[in-house]
């Protein structure tokens, strides 16, 4: 039995926000943003919510997989920007799509959220508890950004991506071959945003909630060293080489990070599909949105091997190699 991705889906908000538009409301320019990051536009919510985008992405993934919502056993949503503290986004999705038999919960591993979710779903299926899972990465990052801080707000976007994983008897595909997750909490404050204010009667100086603040250069250094190391470790465990991999689907934070990983792995940029130019950095949603784009464009054939890797806040990372 293998554990395979049976279908994918994604949902982006309707509103496109270009770099040129941003330069009319803050001191920035298309030249600065696109040359430093590769981002040209992003989608931002107006009416959509983290749960509504998640549910839409989930429905599309179920259709792609040919699986009914009531047959889903498990829903995991990776997000740092759910609509409520409770209910979880996963429970909202469960209700919205009618996955009445599913266990549902959220996890927060920031930009690695989808990859952590894939690992958890894999582990649940491997030990025999569940036969399938809907794993979603979804963010409304525009609500946790400081729109007066041009160094962060121009980088991020909103959206959701989903994948259906299931046990499979298809002998032509190994499905998920190897994966790893990692964390380095000692560097967590290089990408941080404080949650609600605690004004219980014992707290004398409640700390104001804070928007996301980032030491971009520290995050950059972390990414360009950790991601190639993680990919190499996972490939070594799988006894595969970079030449065996058709596509490397990386978290879409910055084109320069992806170029650096491509250089360090000695793999041409053609093997690194890109969505950041039109989505910006969508944290946990980046990898599943990109996977869905690659899948829906018909770029994947059965038997192709791909690597997916997420990295970011926490600091965290998660990498997986699989056969389509
Ligand atoms: O999911 C993980 C998320 N995190 C990341 O992906 C972050 C990784 N890091 C990066 O991508 C880069 O560090 C950034 C794109 C965030 C920044 O690029 P940088 O080359 O490290 O620029 P910088 O922060 O050193 O800023 C250079 C200059 C500064 O001006 P001065 O001090 O040199 O005069 C900034 O004030 O650029 C200025 N600046 C801007 N100018 C125009 C910062 N933001 C902007 C902006 N428009 N939006």
Question: Quick check: CB of 217 below 6 Å from ligand 1?
Answer: yes
Q: Do strands 247-250 and 305-312 pair parallel, antiparallel, or not at all (unpaired)?
A: parallel
| Active site residue ranges | 111, 251, 281
Q: Are 98 and 70 in contact (CB under 8 A)?
A: yes
pTM as predicted: 0.96
For CATH 3.40.47.10, the residue range(s) in the chain are 2-168, 175-323
Annotate 109-148 with b (16+ C-beta within 10 A) or e (fewer).
bbbbbbbbbbbbbbebbeeeebbbbbbbbbbbbbebbeee
pLDDT value at residue 28: 97
Q: Percent of the chain, pLDDT > 90?
A: 94
Task: Report the CATH fold assignment for 2-168.
Answer: Peroxisomal Thiolase; Chain A, domain 1 (3.40.47)
pLDDT value at residue 225: 97
pLDDT average, residue stretch 148-154: 95
Instruction: Please tell me the distance between residue 219's alpha carbon and the centre of ligand 1 in angstroms.
Output: 11
Question: Quick check: CB of 113 below 6 Å from ligand 1?
Answer: no
Question: Quick check: CB of 150 below 6 Å from ligand 1?
Answer: yes
pLDDT average, residue stretch 274-294: 98
Class of domain 175-323: alpha beta
Confidence of residue 194 (pLDDT cuts 50, 70, 90): confident
Confidence of residue 133 (pLDDT cuts 50, 70, 90): very high
> What is the tens place of the pLDDT at every residue in 44-99?
999 999 999 999 999 999 999 999 999 999 999 999 999 999 999 999 999 999 99
Distance CA 18, CA 39 (A): 9
Distance CA 321, CA 288 (A): 14
């Amino acid at each position: 039995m293998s554990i395979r991705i049976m279908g994918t889906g994604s949902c982006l908000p309707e509103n496109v926000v270009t770099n040129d538009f941003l330069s009319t409301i803050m001191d920035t320019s298309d030249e600065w943003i696109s040359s430093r990051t590769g981002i040209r536009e992003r989608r931002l919510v107006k009416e959509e919510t983290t749960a509504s985008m998640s549910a839409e992405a989930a429905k599309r993934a179920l259709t792609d997989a040919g699986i009914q919502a009531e047959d889903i056993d498990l829903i995991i949503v990776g997000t740092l920007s759910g609509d409520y503290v409770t209910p979880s986004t996963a429970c909202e999705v469960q209700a919205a799509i009618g996955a009445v038999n599913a266990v549902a919960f959220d996890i927060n591993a920031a930009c690695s959220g989808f990859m952590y979710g894939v690992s958890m779903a894999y582990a649940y299926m491997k030990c025999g508890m569940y036969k399938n899972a809907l794993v979603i990465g979804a963010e409304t990052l525009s609500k946790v950004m400081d729109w007066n801080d041009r160094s962060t707000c121009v980088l991020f976007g909103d959206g959701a991506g989903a994948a259906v994983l299931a046990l499979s008897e298809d002998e032509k595909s190994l499905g998920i071959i190897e994966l790893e997750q990692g964390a380095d909490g000692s560097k967590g404050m290089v990408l941080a945003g404080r949650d609600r204010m605690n004004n219980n009667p014992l707290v004398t100086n409640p700390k104001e909630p804070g928007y996301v603040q980032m030491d971009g250069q520290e995050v950059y250094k972390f990414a360009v060293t950790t991601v190639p190391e993680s990919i190499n470790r996972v490939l070594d465990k799988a006894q595969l080489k970079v030449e065996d991999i058709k596509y490397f689907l990386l978290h879409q934070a910055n084109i320069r990070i992806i170029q650096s990983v491509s250089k360090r792995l000695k793999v041409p940029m053609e093997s690194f599909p890109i969505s950041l130019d039109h989505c910006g950095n969508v944290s946990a949603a980046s990898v599943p949105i990109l996977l869905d784009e690659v899948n829906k464009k018909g770029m994947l054939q059965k038997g192709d091997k791909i690597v997916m890797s997420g990295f970011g806040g926490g600091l965290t990372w998660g990498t997986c190699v699989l056969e389509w």
